């Protein structure tokens, strides 16, 4: 062991881990120093943004020069950095959304920023870890931070309820995950994902096979909880609804992407144990998740809740291509990664519009949007774009992402699954267009015309512009993005073999 | 230099000039109504000019002309590939011809959110022209869907009555069809060696069962759009509640997307499925003709009546296409254009009177011919065109379709003739109740006749009706060899035959080189 440690080039290792260390260190720093700067919200904000940007810069540098190196328990390939970039983008956008929101809701505390940074550190560990234990630890770091964040608005009962619910369910899920890892370790004697992948079926003989499969199922349950797959989705609506909307944004995007990153790593290591059973599990979960998510979203009046259910549905779409993992692993992985990016941009955008409307109290019901088309044309226009993108109507990024997902299913011969997927998209038209109807079609009553004077803080507008351009431009010209993601994935799945 | 460059990008120009106009409008201040209108009209006229320019470069060969190819998303072999044959060129011309008129017709009707309205109109034009010009299936799908959203807003924001329901119905129906088509496109993409190129698809050896399923998937999308009975139920609502311009575009162009889809994609791709399904589709077409006419007859609302008449007219188009002979197909194509002109004009006329009286109920009128003679003249003229008076456009088209139908599928022809008779009944009866008889309603006594702007809108349409009715040859020339090629492809018996069809005389260009013929 010591020998191994001595062999590492620590300087290189430091550089490689910088994108992880920066959020960790930054979060720690904020916790230590923050109390002395309690008044200076601005300092905390700028400091976290700077940390995130710096980490983004290093992650990009490392992406360019990535060498598929595994050091200790971490795997530094382009896929890791790709997801690191995704998390950091989600983080930066969330930070920009948070500043004015925290001030107007009286939630200014340095811990908020520290927790976000810690959570991102955890996410990166989830994707970078090539050992199940690291994945688990990363997941816990992330989860614990997000539990606290969900309850950050202590004065709001809903927020506290959300935190408690999320914590209880999450802890429960974590125990499943841990138990699964234990079973897998018991069956195979290792928790190293690369070893598991390379040895594949060879490690399983006789009765250990049963333990391994039990482990796999428990693992699936644990991860399923985290990304809110049906039937493990019950917490999602209440938590998303109760948490402050900035935290909801973060949960719906970064946390979900992290879950998918980890799932891809785990699937890659374990799918070969029982490909058929695995594919069956996936399609059942996918069909249930998207259908139930969509149907539950149909009747929601509160957009936070609606987006919560829609995010369940999107998780259903996103796991759909996994059925084809054994046939075309690389393109399946790229399609899911691509979708995560698309999903982050359009969901952050949609929430950002809601945040732009929420001064003092959250304005998240469909009613609050009525007549927005006349009052705030740009906000309404961009909200429409995000909703169309979530529906999957071209030429938006969401369409291309969905196209890419369904392409995988069709290629692998799961045509009926793609058909179910697209029919679900049609169902989703109904509720995604609900807000559009409110914004543009409804007649404004006299009091709405005067209406509350909406504030639109600059930082929030920056986020809206950024996501707006991302969703529309990448929707029209997805080529470069596609190359970026395919390169990231192939360096792991194709070259890494 | 510039001229040459423009000449080689005529189609792109027609597709994206309206987008440029739309973006330009976005930059204009909201309350500058006059300049917004002028910009919209200017850009649509400019597009029309480009179209006229392209008319000289378009020769009506069996080939795709005015081709343009650019790489778009190389990872999936997706190209920006445009090109037109006779039929799509004529439909594009129809679109570009209708657009300035439609913009003019909105001059006074649209009072709220004018900027958004014109913006959407222009985006809609991009979608429509793009759909007709796209030769890459992915690109086609994108344009096909792009069209959907502006129309949804046009109905939902500026519509009347139960507009929200109508808009939802429109978008849900269309989406259901088109997403299934997307899956079919993806299936063919893998089957055919990962290509979205239209020409490559012609040579994919689909088995019979595959053809049937794929035809159903494509066909459903197109049948809803046409609309073929029994998928027509979205149409009366959407047409009735839409603002005038929306109805004109819906009837004039959007419905043609469905028949064009059959012509361009569903039928040449899956010839065996066409043979298998054609009796059923023909049946639905004639049922549509008779049903549409009968329902139109009992409508109390003029606009709804015209809407139902569309169901009947489009039945003729489908009848002609599936008659699978030269006369039938050419008649069908001509009918697509005729219907765009006549029904478009009818919707415009209904819109004009609605602007004055704010009602479309037949019973609210009666005897107004004396008060508004110019209006009555145009209305009766268009009505006569619509019911197929010899010497006007619809006669030529319907006659050809019926000839074609009698040649191969006699029984359907006989039923369809009934439709012609019925159309005369419901239209003339409506005209009688609206324009003749005693002037009873007090409000009608103060009706104003058409102004110059309105006459200017109608005159080009009427001239076109006479032109086609008297001398349809220039149009027939443009489409003749294309329909021939279409028939050869649709009648082929196996995929190998299609490879043969793609040699000398029907050489659809396969390479990505752009040609400029002069």
**Close Cβ partners of B209 (under 8 Å, ≥ 6 residues apart):** none
**Close Cβ partners of B229 (under 8 Å, ≥ 6 residues apart):** B284, B285, B287, B288, B291, B292, B311, B315
B287 CA to chain A: closest CA distance, Å? 29
pLDDT per residue over B352-373, tens digit each? 888 888 888 888 888 888 888 8
Q: Which residues pair with B134 in a beta bridge?
A: B82
Nearest CB to B190; choose among A411, A433, A440: A411
For A429, name the nearest residue in chain B, comparing CA atoms only.
Answer: B172
Whether residue A335 is predicted with pLDDT greater than 50 in this model: the reply is yes
User: Does B16 touch chain A if contact means CB atoms closer than 8 Å?
Assistant: no
Instruction: Judge: B183–A406 Cβ closer than 8 Å, yes or no.
Output: yes
**Do residues A340 and A86 touch, judged by C-beta distance below 8 A?**
yes
A480 CA to chain B: closest CA distance, Å? 9
Burial (CB count <10 Å: 0-12, 13-18, 19+), residue B124 = buried
Q: Which of A331, A395, A410 to mutate to test the interface with B (most CBs of B within 10 A)?
A: A410
Bond into A360 cis (ω within 30): no
Round to whole Å and give the CA distance between B495 and B271: 9
Find how far residue B512's CA is from the centre of its chain. Answer: 29
Each residue's pLDDT, cut to its tens digit, for chain B (518 residues) gives 888 888 888 889 999 999 999 999 988 888 888 888 899 999 999 999 999 988 888 887 777 888 888 888 888 888 898 888 889 999 999 999 999 999 988 888 888 888 889 999 999 999 999 999 999 999 999 999 988 899 999 998 888 888 888 888 899 999 998 999 999 999 999 988 888 888 888 888 888 888 999 999 999 999 999 888 888 889 888 888 888 888 999 988 999 999 999 999 999 889 889 989 989 999 999 999 999 999 998 988 889 999 999 999 999 999 999 988 888 999 999 999 999 999 999 999 998 888 888 888 888 888 888 888 898 999 999 999 998 888 888 899 999 999 998 888 788 888 888 888 898 899 999 988 888 888 877 777 888 888 888 898 899 999 999 999 899 888 888 888 888 888 888 888 766 666 666 544 344 554 444 333 33
pLDDT per residue over A426-455, tens digit each? 999 989 988 888 888 876 544 444 444 555
Listed range (A22-31, A361-370, B128-137, B465-474) with the worst mean pLDDT = A361-370
List chain A residues with CB under 8 Å of B167.
441
Number of A to B CB contacts under 8 A, please give it: 79
Instruction: Judge: B142–A422 Cβ closer than 8 Å, yes or no.
Output: no
Listed range (A200-204, A348-352, B151-155) with the worst mean pLDDT = A200-204
* Other C-beta atoms lying within 10 Å of the C-beta of residue B439: 16
Query: What is the phi/psi pair of residue B451, to 5°?
Result: -90, 180
DSSP state of A204: -
Residues of chain A in Cβ contact (below 8 Å) with chain B: 373-374, 377, 388, 393-395, 399, 403, 406-407, 410-411, 415, 418-419, 422-423, 425-426, 429-430, 433, 436-437, 440-441, 477-479, 482-483, 486
Element (H, E) at B65: strand B65-73
- Tell me the angle at which helices A325-357 and A303-319 cross, rounded to the nearest 10 degrees: 170
- What is the predicted pLDDT for the residue at B70? 87
Instruction: Judge: B180–A419 Cβ closer than 8 Å, yes or no.
Output: yes
B173 CA to chain A: closest CA distance, Å? 9
List chain B residues with CB under 8 Å of A406.
182-183, 186
Residue A56 tokens, joined: 């983004």
Nearest CB to B146; choose among A394, A403, A436: A394
Distances (CA, A) of B414 to B286, B291, B310, B314: 9, 15, 20, 17
Q: Which of A437, A442, A449, A468 to mutate to test the interface with B (most CBs of B within 10 A)?
A: A437
What does the mean pLDDT of chain A come to? 87
- Higher confidence at residue A207 or residue B10? B10
Instruction: Judge: A429–B175 Cβ closer than 8 Å, yes or no.
Output: yes
List chain B residues with CB under 8 Å of A374.
113
**ipTM here:** 0.91
User: Does B407 touch chain A if contact means CB atoms closer than 8 Å?
Assistant: no
Instruction: Judge: B146–A441 Cβ closer than 8 Å, yes or no.
Output: no
The CA-based angle A143-A145-A151, given to 5 degrees, is: 100
List chain A residues with CB under 8 Å of B182.
403, 406, 422
User: Does B212 touch chain A if contact means CB atoms closer than 8 Å?
Assistant: no
**Which own/partner contact pairs does B444-448 have at CB distance under 8 Å and 24+ positions apart?**
B444/B357, B444/B364, B444/B365, B444/B366, B444/B367, B444/B368, B444/B371, B445/B371, B447/B353, B447/B356, B447/B357, B447/B368, B447/B371, B447/B372, B448/B356, B448/B372
Round to whole Å and give the CA distance between A158 and A162: 6
User: Does B72 touch chain A if contact means CB atoms closer than 8 Å?
Assistant: yes
The CA-based angle B16-B22-B25, given to 5 degrees, is: 145
Instruction: Judge: A483–B75 Cβ closer than 8 Å, yes or no.
Output: yes
List chain B residues with CB under 8 Å of A407.
76, 186, 189
Q: Which of A408, A422, A431, A472 to mutate to test the interface with B (most CBs of B within 10 A)?
A: A422
List chain A residues with CB under 8 Å of B164.
437, 441
- What is the predicted pLDDT for the residue at A256? 92
Token pair 């259901």 in the structure block, residue: B176
Query: What is the phi/psi pair of residue A131, to 5°?
Result: -125, 140
Instruction: Judge: B142–A395 Cβ closer than 8 Å, yes or no.
Output: yes
Instruction: Judge: B171–A483 Cβ closer than 8 Å, yes or no.
Output: no
**Close Cβ partners of B500 (under 8 Å, ≥ 6 residues apart):** none
Nearest CB to A441; choose among B72, B149, B157: B157
Listed range (A32-41, A127-136, A148-157, A246-255) with the worst mean pLDDT = A32-41
Token pair 């006369």 in the structure block, residue: B327
A311 CA to chain B: closest CA distance, Å? 21
Round to whole Å and give the CA distance between A314 and B168: 22
Distances (CA, A) of A421 to A318, A478, B180, B182, B187: 10, 22, 10, 11, 14
**Close Cβ partners of B480 (under 8 Å, ≥ 6 residues apart):** B60, B86, B330
* Other C-beta atoms lying within 10 Å of the C-beta of residue B517: 11
> pTM, whole model, 2 decimals?
0.93
Given its phi and psi angles, is residue A68 left (phi above 0), alpha (psi -120 to 50 degrees) or beta? left
**Close Cβ partners of A34 (under 8 Å, ≥ 6 residues apart):** A44, A110, A111, A113, A114
For A431, name the nearest residue in chain B, comparing CA atoms only.
Answer: B168
Find how far residue A282's CA is from the centre of its chain. Answer: 19
**Do residues A493 and A330 touch, judged by C-beta distance below 8 A?**
yes
User: Does B145 touch chain A if contact means CB atoms closer than 8 Å?
Assistant: yes
Instruction: Judge: B186–A483 Cβ closer than 8 Å, yes or no.
Output: no
Round to whole Å and give the CA distance between B319 and B333: 11
- Higher confidence at residue A464 or residue A358? A464
Nearest CB to A486; choose among B75, B113, B176: B75
3-state secondary structure of B194: coil
B76 CA to chain A: closest CA distance, Å? 9
pLDDT per residue over B160-217, tens digit each? 888 888 888 899 999 998 999 999 999 999 988 888 888 888 888 888 888 999 999 9
Instruction: Judge: A419–B175 Cβ closer than 8 Å, yes or no.
Output: no
Can you tell me the mean pLDDT for A77-97?
Answer: 93
Q: What is the SS3 string spanning B409-424?
A: CHHHHHHHHHHHHHHH
- What is the predicted pLDDT for the residue at A38? 63
Can you tell me the mean pLDDT for A398-406?
Answer: 93
Instruction: Judge: A403–B182 Cβ closer than 8 Å, yes or no.
Output: yes
Whether residue A21 is predicted with pLDDT greater than 60 in this model: the reply is yes
Instruction: Judge: B171–A425 Cβ closer than 8 Å, yes or no.
Output: no
- What is the predicted pLDDT for the residue at A124? 93
CA atoms within 13 A on the CB side of B74: 5
For A408, name the nearest residue in chain B, comparing CA atoms only.
Answer: B186
Percent of chain A with pLDDT over 70: 95
Residue A479 tokens, joined: 């080529």
Can you tell me the mean pLDDT for A291-307?
Answer: 90
A181 CA to chain B: closest CA distance, Å? 38
Round to whole Å and give the CA distance between B473 and B461: 18
- What is the predicted pLDDT for the residue at B120? 92
* Other C-beta atoms lying within 10 Å of the C-beta of residue A291: 18
List chain B residues with CB under 8 Å of A415.
183, 187
Bond into A485 cis (ω within 30): no
Listed range (A45-59, A208-222, B124-138, B495-509) with the worst mean pLDDT = B495-509
Token pair 């928790």 in the structure block, residue: A191
């Amino acid at each position: 062991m010591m020998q191994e440690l001595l062999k590492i080039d620590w300087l290189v290792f430091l550089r490689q881990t910088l994108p992880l260390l920066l959020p960790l260190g930054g979060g720690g720093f904020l916790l230590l120093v923050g109390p002395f700067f309690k008044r200076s919200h601005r300092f905390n904000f700028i400091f976290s943004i700077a940390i995130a940007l710096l980490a983004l810069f290093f992650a990009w540098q490392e992406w360019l020069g990535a060498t598929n190196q595994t050091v200790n328990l971490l795997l530094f390939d382009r896929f890791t950095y790709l997801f690191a970039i995704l998390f950091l983008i989600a983080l930066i956008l969330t930070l920009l959304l948070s500043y004015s929101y925290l001030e107007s809701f009286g939630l200014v505390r340095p811990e908020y920023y520290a927790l976000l940074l810690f959570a991102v550190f955890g996410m990166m560990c989830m994707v970078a870890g090539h050992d199940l234990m690291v994945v688990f630890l990363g997941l816990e770091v992330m989860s614990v931070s997000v539990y606290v964040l969900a309850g950050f608005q202590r004065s709001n009962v809903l927020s506290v309820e959300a935190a408690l619910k999320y914590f209880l369910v999450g802890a429960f899920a974590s125990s499943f995950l841990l138990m699964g890892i234990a079973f897998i370790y018991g069956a195979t004697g290792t928790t190293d994902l690369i070893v598991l992948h390379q040895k594949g079926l060879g490690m399983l003989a006789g009765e250990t096979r049963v333990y391994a499969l039990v482990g796999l199922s428990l693992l699936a349950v644990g991860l399923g909880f985290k990304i809110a797959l049906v039937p493990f989705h019950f917490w999602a609506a209440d938590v998303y609804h109760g948490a402050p909307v900035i935290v909801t944004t973060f949960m719906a995007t970064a946390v979900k992407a992290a879950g998918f990153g980890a799932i891809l790593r785990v699937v890659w290591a374990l799918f070969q144990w029982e490909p058929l059973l695995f594919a069956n599990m996936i399609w059942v979960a996918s069909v249930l998740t998207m259908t139930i998510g969509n149907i539950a979203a149909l009747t929601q009046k509160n957009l936070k809740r609606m987006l919560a259910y829609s995010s369940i549905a999107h998780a259903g779409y996103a796991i759909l291509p996994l059925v084809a993992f054994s046939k075309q692993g690389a393109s399946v992985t790229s399609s899911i990664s691509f979708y995560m990016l698309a999903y982050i941009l359009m969901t952050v955008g949609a929430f950002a519009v809601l945040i732009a409307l929420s001064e003092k109290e959250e304005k998240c019901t469909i009613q609050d949007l009525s007549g927005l088309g006349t009052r705030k044309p740009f906000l309404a226009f961009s909200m429409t774009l995000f909703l169309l993108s979530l529906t999957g109507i071209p030429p938006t990024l969401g369409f291309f992402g969905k196209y890419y997902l369904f392409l995988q299913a069709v290629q692998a011969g799961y045509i009926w699954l793609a058909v179910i997927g697209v029919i679900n998209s049609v169902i989703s038209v109904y509720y995604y267009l609900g807000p559009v109807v409110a914004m543009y079609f409804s007649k404004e009553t006299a009091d709405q015309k005067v209406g509350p004077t909406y504030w639109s803080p600059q930082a929030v507008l920056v986020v809206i512009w950024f996501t707006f351009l991302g969703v529309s431009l990448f929707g029209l010209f997805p080529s470069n993005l596609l190359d970026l993601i395919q390169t990231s994935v192939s360096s792991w799945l194709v070259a890494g073999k | 230099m510039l001229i040459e460059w423009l000449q080689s990008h005529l189609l792109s120009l027609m597709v994206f000039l309206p987008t440029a106009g739309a973006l330009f409008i976005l930059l204009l201040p909201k309350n500058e109504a006059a300049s917004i209108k002028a910009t919209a009209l200017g850009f649509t006229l400019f597009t029309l000019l480009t179209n006229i320019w392209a008319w000289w470069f378009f020769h009506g060969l069996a080939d795709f002309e005015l081709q343009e190819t650019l790489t778009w998303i190389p990872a999936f072999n997706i190209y920006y590939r445009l090109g037109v044959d006779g039929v799509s060129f004529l439909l594009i011309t129809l679109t570009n011809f209708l657009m300035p008129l439609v913009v003019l017709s909105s001059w006074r009707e649209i009072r709220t959110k004018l900027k958004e309205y014109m913006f959407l109109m222009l985006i809609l034009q991009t979608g429509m022209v793009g759909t007709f010009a796209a030769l890459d299936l992915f690109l086609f799908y994108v344009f096909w869907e792009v069209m959907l959203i502006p129309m949804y807003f046009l109905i939902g924001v500026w519509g009347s009555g139960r507009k929200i329901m109508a808009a939802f119905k429109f978008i849900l129906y269309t989406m259901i069809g088109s997403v299934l088509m997307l899956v079919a496109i993806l299936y063919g993409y893998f089957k055919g060696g990962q290509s979205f190129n239209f020409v490559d698809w012609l040579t994919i050896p689909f088995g019979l069962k595959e053809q049937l399923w794929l035809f159903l998937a494509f066909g459903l999308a197109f049948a809803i759009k046409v609309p073929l009975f029994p998928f027509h139920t979205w149409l009366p609502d959407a047409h009735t509640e839409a603002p005038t311009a929306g109805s004109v575009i819906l009837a004039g162009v959007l419905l043609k997307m469905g028949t064009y889809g059959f012509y361009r994609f569903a039928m040449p791709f899956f010839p065996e499925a066409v043979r298998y399904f054609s009796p059923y589709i023909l049946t639905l077409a004639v049922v549509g003709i008779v049903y549409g006419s009968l329902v139109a007859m009992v409508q109390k609302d003029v606009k709804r009546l015209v809407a139902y008449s569309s169901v009947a007219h489009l039945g003729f188009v489908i009848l002609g296409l599936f008659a699978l002979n030269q006369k039938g197909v050419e008649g069908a194509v001509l009918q697509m254009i005729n219907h765009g002109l006549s029904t478009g004009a009818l919707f415009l006329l209904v819109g004009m009177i609605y602007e004055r009286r704010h009602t479309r109920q037949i019973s609210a009128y009666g005897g107004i011919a004396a008060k508004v003679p110019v209006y009555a003249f145009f209305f009766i003229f268009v009505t006569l065109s619509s019911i197929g008076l010899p010497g006007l456009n619809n006669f030529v088209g319907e006659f050809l379709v019926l000839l074609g139908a009698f040649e191969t599928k006699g029984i359907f022809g006989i039923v369809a003739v009934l439709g012609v008779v019925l159309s005369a009944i419901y239209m003339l009866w409506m005209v009688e109740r609206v324009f003749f008889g005693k002037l009873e309603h007090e409000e009608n006594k103060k009706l104003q006749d058409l102004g110059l702007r309105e006459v200017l809108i109608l005159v080009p349409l009427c001239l076109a009706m006479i032109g086609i009715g008297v001398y349809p040859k220039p149009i027939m020339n443009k489409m003749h060899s294309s329909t021939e090629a279409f028939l050869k492809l649709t009648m082929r018996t196996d995929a190998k035959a299609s490879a043969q069809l793609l040699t000398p005389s029907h050489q659809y260009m396969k390479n990505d080189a752009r040609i400029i013929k002069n």
